[in-house]
């Protein structure tokens, strides 16, 4: 998988670029790629998101419908966004979302942060993402698969303004508590790793063969 580091990219611009990235992968003009970037403040949501989950019309943060799975989430400064454009025909069997969760858990573990994935009980809202052992969410995941090629990906909270998550219902989980690596580092009494170190750990873990699926 090829790693592509980008800076801050407006969400609408990133979506236009992503359409091209997917077309390149589908045609064989580009390999599997991981795009690492950040977005200015924006709340995105999937087409099944209840209107009641979204912020009020008075919010100064735009809300944009996204062509991905999942519900409402926030993107902004202090987050690391990872978009994966992969041809699943060449990757063999397996649940790509679970593989992504396990790779992110391994990456955070290499940085000294305990994390886990969670199974979703039947009939409950989706618990896809990465969580702390005490039940706080640190990574949101929303992907799209069309024609065997993935798009979209994950948002890791490094040091964002977590108060934004109080203005809407994140991931359609009314009782979810979002956290960040900055908050976890403070709780551990140690410095927050630099963004370059975090990007390297994430990319290295995703570029390795998929870790064994955890129960």
**pLDDT at 9 (0 to 100):** 97
Q: Which pLDDT tens digit goes with each residue over 110-167?
A: 999 999 999 988 888 788 999 999 999 999 999 999 999 999 999 999 999 999 988 8
State the Cα–Cα distance between residues 44 and 46, nearest whole angstrom: 7
- Judged against a pLDDT cut of 90, whether residue 70 lies above it is answered with no
Domain annotation covers residue 84: yes
Domain annotation covers residue 215: no
Domain annotation covers residue 214: no
In 3-state terms, what secondary structure has residue 194?
coil
**What's the per-residue H, E or C state across 140-155?**
EEEEEEECCEEEEEEE
- Known catalytic residues are 171
Element (H, E) at 103: helix 96-110
Domains held by the chain: number:
1
**pLDDT at 90 (0 to 100):** 80
**Cut 0.85: pTM above it:** yes
**Which residues span the domain enclosing 162?**
2-207
Q: What tokens does 80 get?
A: 């690391």
Domain annotation covers residue 177: yes
CA-based nearest residue to 208, from 96, 86, 106, 83 = 106
We report the CATH number of the domain holding residue 163 as: 3.30.930.10
Beta pairing partners, 137: 131, 178
Domain annotation covers residue 136: yes
Domain annotation covers residue 10: yes
Domain annotation covers residue 133: yes
Residue 78 burial class via C-beta count within 10 angstroms: exposed 0-12, middle 13-18, buried 19 and up? middle
**pLDDT at 175 (0 to 100):** 83
C-beta separation of 72 from 168 below 8 A: yes
């Amino acid at each position: 998988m090829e790693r592509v580091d980008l800076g801050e990219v407006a969400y609408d611009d990133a979506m236009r670029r992503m359409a091209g990235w997917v077309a390149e992968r589908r045609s064989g003009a580009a390999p599997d790629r991981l795009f690492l970037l950040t977005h200015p403040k924006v709340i995105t949501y999937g087409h099944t998101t209840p209107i009641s989950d979204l912020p009020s019309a008075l919010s100064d943060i735009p809300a944009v419908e996204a062509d991905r799975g999942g519900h409402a989430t926030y993107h902004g400064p202090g987050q690391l966004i990872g978009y994966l454009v992969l041809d699943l025909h060449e990757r063999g069997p397996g649940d790509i979302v679970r593989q992504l969760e396990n790779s992110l858990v391994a990456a955070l573990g290499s940085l000294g942060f305990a994390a886990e994935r969670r199974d979703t009980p039947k009939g409950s809202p989706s618990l896809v993402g990465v969580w702390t052992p005490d039940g706080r969410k640190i990574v949101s995941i929303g992907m799209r698969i069309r024609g065997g090629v993935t798009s979209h990906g994950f948002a890791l909270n490094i040091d964002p303004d977590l108060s934004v998550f109080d203005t809407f219902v994140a991931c359609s989980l009314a009782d979810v508590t979002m956290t960040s690596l900055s908050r976890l580092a403070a709780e551990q009494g140690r410095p927050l790793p630099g963004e370059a170190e975090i990007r390297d750990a994430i990319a290295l873990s995703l570029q390795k063969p998929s870790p064994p699926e955890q129960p």
